[in-house]
Structure 1
């Protein structure tokens, strides 16, 4: 190429020709995302969303109390088609005196799609041994699985807490036989996940609407599971509502909060909880931390006709500048 260029073109033109040719050389595709963490300030508290992964959520088979036509219409309205990627988000709260993780992702329980929470925790500047407290919204696989790492405590210095009603349900093998067959493995997964903490006295259930840490109180939100719990995090005049599995598919359940999923243990109670927490978040202008709304799952909700719409937080490249003094 160089010899041919020299024959037909002057040296300067030859150089430019070769430069243009090299600029169009193919580069290999990377095909990976960056580390899955996002940071915001809530008053003086630092909040970091951690992504455990995304997975194909079988919208067409698990949605209940909503027609297939409505599902297709709602997804198309948001330019989505099946399979829809569902995010698995967890929320790390640094209060200045404690490091508190709300939910832990699936760990190995969902396969290769997930189990990235620990890597993203480290990428965000923290280490698992620094976590003081783990709060579980509920004990489904994609929320409790990450507390366990190869049979040992993934967070070796942490206390793990969930509502007593939730713990009593999932850790009592007698309930397994009465549950739907597709939930059978969820009982085994819950027991195995928290076993290292139970063995060392660091699994500590709480009762009802309890204060679980300075600035954080539990809010009973039953329906998806018997003891499903939201957490209200307050610092200064700002509030974050970490609501667990109140919403699984935003395109559908925000437009129609009556829509449920087959994983709900009590569909009617899940509907009522969804209506209550959506109204609470909208009326009080809370920031919402959503486990399954697209990463980072942080935003506000606003009434929209008979339903609601999701308003993602405006991206902040330097959140420390906006910390409360």
Structure 2
């Protein structure tokens, strides 16, 4: 016969064991956070950091010169489903050793809460906006230049010069052209003027025509069509090269396979297609490393020519940061 105190002790011990077992098997809480949006690689002696501004959803209906069934087929090949496709907004920070150069500045918060993370990710990557010496603008669409200014209209990159193609300046910064534009376009002209304003006032807004060397190892490449002065940028150090494409691609699943496909945002669709075909052919032939503002983050990789026509996107693999390859 078990005395009552012994029975009670056993019950308490059994209960304690059950309680401990419950704690041991409890699920760990979900963290609900993502890693900081930056990725780094070396291009010769240049340190390149991809910066993630965020993502927006673009409707497949924006694509031109293509049948809906072909778009759906190409999306399905990449395990994507329309009608809206997630589209990244990227920027690229290049430390040449003597200059800190940013290519594009993102959208700020003017295109919704899913964007506007360039400055936060730049800081996460170990830099500050004040350290940026030069900003190279691929074109003056808001998702590339709104991040140049604060909501109060002040320069985010207070110590930087900003370079923009003259043809884009002549179009997007012109109040007379804006006045003649459709009402739905007025806001885009205003975004460009607002982004440029503090830099122009400080004498830090610079322009260039066509292809030219802007800084040591950095050249502009004329790829107009998407906008009148759309520019890509070629970075070259030692034997290594990186071509920042800008907006030559908005939908990687469709426009690599079908470079003849334009998008509604193109100012001159025919010229935009010609520019894309020319750069794709060059990138594939020369095996250039390329980066795109609307390619899946970090948006860095290669362009491969396909035997049956068209091209394929080959994203770069994650890798440890290699040491400088200058002179290799």
Tell me the TM-score range normalised by the shorter chain.
Answer: over 0.9
Task: Report the TM-score, using the length of structure 1 for normalisation.
Answer: 0.93
Alpha-carbon separation, structure 1, partners of 2:136 and 2:29: 42
| Count of paired positions | 318
Contact 2:239 2:326 in 1 (8 A): no
Residue 321 of structure 1 aligns to a residue whose secondary structure is coil
Which has the greater radius of gyration? Answer: 2
The Cα shift of 1:32 comes to 2.8
- What is the aligned counterpart of 2:309 among 306, 310, 324? 306
Q: What whole-Å deviation, never above 9, does each CA across 1:52-106 have from its counterpart, x for those lacking one?
A: 11111222x2111111111111111111113211100000000000000001110
Instruction: Specify every segment of 5 or more residues in structure 2 that has no aligned partner in the other structure, as ranges.
Output: 1-6
Q: What is aligned with 1:41?
A: 42
The Cα shift of 1:25 comes to 2.0
Contact 2:283 2:303 in 1 (8 A): yes
Query: Judging changes above 3 Å, is the alpha-carbon distance between structure 1 residues 23 and 261 closer, same or farther for their aligned structure 2 residues?
Result: farther
Task: Report the TM-score, using the length of structure 2 for normalisation.
Answer: 0.92
Contact 2:173 2:192 in 1 (8 A): yes
Q: What is aligned with 1:239?
A: 241
Alpha-carbon separation, structure 2, partners of 1:108 and 1:5: 63
Alpha-carbon separation, structure 2, partners of 1:259 and 1:4: 79
Give yes or no for the alignment of 1:64 onto 2:64: yes
Residue 246 of structure 2 aligns to a residue whose secondary structure is coil
Residue 48 of structure 1 aligns to a residue whose secondary structure is strand
Instruction: Specify every segment of 5 or more residues in structure 1 that has no aligned partner in the other structure, as ranges.
Output: none
Contact 2:45 2:324 in 1 (8 A): no
Q: What is aligned with 2:105?
A: 104
Query: Judging changes above 3 Å, is the alpha-carbon distance between structure 1 residues 4 and 109 closer, same or farther for their aligned structure 2 residues?
Result: farther
- What is the aligned counterpart of 1:212 among 214, 235, 246? 214
Alpha-carbon separation, structure 2, partners of 1:19 and 1:313: 47
Alpha-carbon separation, structure 2, partners of 1:6 and 1:281: 76
Q: What is aligned with 1:260?
A: 262
